Amino acid sequence: MWLSLLSIFIFIVLCSIFIIATLSWKEAKSAYTELRQDHAELEADEQQALIQIVAFSKLWFRKQFNFIDRELINMSPSLLRTGLIAVREEYGEDELQKTLQWQLKSAIQARKQHINKLELLNTNLLTIAIFVAVMTLIGQLQFMSLQGAELALAPLTTLAFALCVQGFVCKPLIERLYRQMEIHHDALNIHAEGIMMISQGQTPAQIRSVLEAMTNGLDHIKGPVKPANKVAKKPSSFIFPTRKAS
């Protein structure tokens, strides 16, 4: 029994070394933050972003550029901030569209990279487990007088443990990250659409109507765009609520 536990411990140590070798601290922290986000947090973040777009469209429509400049400085780096700055600087429609597409691609690639690292670990779990099992078997043959079932217990336990980690830890985490990436992609597309509508000179009422229609068409972002004072009780800005970076 102790040999089986030792094999599992060695397997865990090797997996940890593999993770450290393939994932930087910044990537690990970012992936952990993504995994901790639940449905309610994602929905609240997207509601805040839509509120910001509608609020910006009102300021833009009224030509209150001083307020716009002040609020853009306080926004966190994100596709939304980049797009609104581009609108403020009066980019052409083609240039704005390219900027938004680049920002969207960068945001999704960052999340995809986290998934790729986790999939790489998931793929190599059995390889690491087989290596540990073979080393354990060789050690038993060299230094111990075990036979039959006793000889196979530790290697098989290690392989079974690796399969459990694959099925009950890695795969659910990968599926969760994929789902969150899809939600993030859909939300960023809505942000980009709202920004393009501001650039095209559409009214705040038109923008709100379109964003509500797009939002209500997605299962993961429910409800109409609510007024800012009903979503954020203590916003850092009296116009734009604080929002996390995308």
One DSSP character per residue, 120-182 reads HHHHHHHHHHHHHHHHHHHHHHHH----HHHHHHHHHHHHHHHHHHIIIIIHHHHHHHHHHHH
Is 245 part of a structural domain of the chain? no
239 vs 73: CA distance, rounded Å? 13
Is 72 part of a structural domain of the chain? yes
Residue 13 has pLDDT above 90, yes or no: yes
Is 244 part of a structural domain of the chain? no
Between 246 and 73, the higher pLDDT residue: 73
Measured from the Cβ of residue 152, the count of other Cβ atoms closer than 10 Å reads 15
CA nearest neighbour of 39 among 222, 195, 226? 222
Q: What is the pLDDT of residue 36?
A: 77
Do 159 and 133 meet the contact criterion of CB atoms below 8 Å apart?
yes
Condensed to tens digits (0 to 9), the pLDDT of residues 177-195 reads 898 888 888 888 989 999 9
Arithmetic mean of pLDDT, 129-146? 80
Residue 239: band (very low, low, confident or very high) from pLDDT cuts 50, 70, 90: very low
Which token pair is 230?
């009903």
Any idea which of 10-24, 27-41, 122-136, 172-186 has the lowest mean pLDDT?
A: 27-41
Is 246 part of a structural domain of the chain? no
Between 6 and 33, the higher pLDDT residue: 6
Arithmetic mean of pLDDT, 187-211? 90
Is 168 part of a structural domain of the chain? yes
Residue 145: band (very low, low, confident or very high) from pLDDT cuts 50, 70, 90: low
Residue 223 has pLDDT above 50, yes or no: no
Q: Which amino acid is present at 213?
A: A
Structural domain count of the chain: 1
Q: In this structure, what are the phi and psi dihedrals at residue 203, rounded to the nearest 5 degrees?
A: -75, 160
CA nearest neighbour of 185 among 46, 29, 37? 46
Residue 42 has pLDDT above 90, yes or no: no
Between 56 and 213, the higher pLDDT residue: 56
Is 104 part of a structural domain of the chain? yes
Is 242 part of a structural domain of the chain? no
Q: What is the pLDDT of residue 217?
A: 53
The residues near 12 (Cβ < 8 Å, ≥ 6 apart) are: none
Domain encompassing residue 151: 2-22+31-231
Is 238 part of a structural domain of the chain? no
